[in-house]
Structure 1
């Protein structure tokens, strides 16, 4: 039989928002074709972030002959920045079957057509980075410190809390709200460094480099000065409690890390905004907290 004409295939391929009803099928698609380490159920759960159950959509999908052949996930949130409510869309997993790759840009265009959103792409693949740049995305400085998590002697009076009840008893205000929004996300691990009357809320995720799951990446640090002074207690906790031998800390998130450390290139992260500065972009309310790839 002759190959199907690409234009005819495009006309027969449906583009639509990912609704709640579509989530299981998209989860199965991503499990089968993007990352099989995550079950279909884990993908589906990740698409429903606990901070905003009523998402405008969960991204966009392509269907051909009734089957999902492409998907581009999106996570939406509203953030308070400089006294204003700002609306964000985090672009997440993007997967299109080989025979439909020519239509992949339809998914991206559907996301970009949405108005009044600050866009982040915190894990673009190598081929997506130049495409994003052409579309007006800015690259964040992801210079990273690689720190060994060593079993340091406990000389400091600082301690690390990881129990939910203890964390909720210590955190207040904005940090408590962030914790409650992320407490049930699959990829975020929550710690609070406490010394005296001061506390530092830390969020990390398990990460892979060269397919090795040996790293904790720091996503959020509420008190960088306190972390710089007592961060070794956190690193010790990550090693002894979680079995993670190394921590990756971007300088924009953790300006000063405990020694020893070496500087390494970070993974690309990008954003597009008409008004926000790079220092106003963080990694919360995103796939980095929801998808434990």
Structure 2
């Protein structure tokens, strides 16, 4: 049976969400999938990825999340590769979805959650690996100076300014991002993390963004104490590339997460985890 590849438009979001709920992750309700597919930040998105259709029925999906970032004084356009799911009988057409996304000119591409044979496919297409060393730090009940650690949205908006405030406003309505602001005598740090849930249990906080690594380093213990007491999260997963340091106490995990990108000229240190499926999809 013939299969066609077409862009995912806003009108397609509900049926794409139903497909992903049924065939990729049923723990996420259809409405959660639908909310996750369309990011809340402003972006000139040509689509929300691509889908395979067979007789007008969705048989495969590859999500994409678009953003425009200021890097080195230039405006750079990004396309983050999201969930990729194709029904078994149509797997021979899977690569057509990836080819359609990568054929779009003028983008830097990131794939922040590749697994299995996707990693090898990306490597053959010229994707490079980011350092994804992963550490596990226990969240202990470290005390925090009064008012120096907050997850209150109102206080966060009052404390942040400039680009930090803009990034917070871009991400505050996403389904997966959680926000904390740390302050000390040296400055203010906006931290974005997600709660990863193995076996449906909120267990790990995974760092996504740290705006000021120096403040974060000084305030790491109060931050993890806040996660334990306020969010009931007993441990934090730390990528030193994101955090800017290797906290103590922590242990290195054998299985690091894979992070990959494809760009004609950007450096690995210019690639971060924001504006991606990591903040949009609470998988």
Verify the 8 A CA contact 1:231 1:257 in the aligned structure 2: no
Asked if 1:123 is matched to 2:106, the reply is no
Asked if 1:20 is matched to 2:10, the reply is yes
Superposed displacement of residue 227, structure 1:
1.2
Distance 2:238 2:31 in 1: 30
Distance 2:223 2:104 in 1: 40
Superposed displacement of residue 158, structure 1:
6.4
Distance 1:132 1:147 in 2: 31
Secondary structure, aligned partner of 2:242: coil
Structure 1 unmatched ranges of 5 or more: 1-8
Verify the 8 A CA contact 2:6 2:50 in the aligned structure 1: yes
Secondary structure, aligned partner of 2:233: coil
Distance 2:210 2:109 in 1: 22
In structure 2, relative to structure 1, the CA distance for the partners of 1:107 and 1:132 (3 Å cut) is same
Name the count of aligned residue pairs: 282
The aligned runs of 1:247-262 (5 Å cut-off) are 247-262=236-251
Task: Please point out which of 222, 233, 238 is paired with 2:227.
Answer: 238
Superimposed CA distance per residue, residues 143-201 of structure 1 (whole angstroms, 9 cap, x where no aligned partner)? 122100011234x4662121111111111111111001001001000100012462110
Residue range with higher mean Cα deviation, 204-213 or 215-224: 204-213
Asked if 1:267 is matched to 2:257, the reply is yes
Distance 1:257 1:170 in 2: 26
In structure 2, relative to structure 1, the CA distance for the partners of 1:277 and 1:54 (3 Å cut) is closer
Which of the pair has more CA radius of gyration? 1
Distance 2:44 2:105 in 1: 18
Distance 1:193 1:262 in 2: 24
The aligned runs of 1:45-194 (5 Å cut-off) are 45-52=35-42, 54-154=44-144, 156=145, 159-194=148-183
Secondary structure, aligned partner of 1:90: strand
Superposed displacement of residue 53, structure 1:
5.9
| Corresponding position of 1:3 | none
Distance 2:186 2:88 in 1: 56
Structure 2 unmatched ranges of 5 or more: none
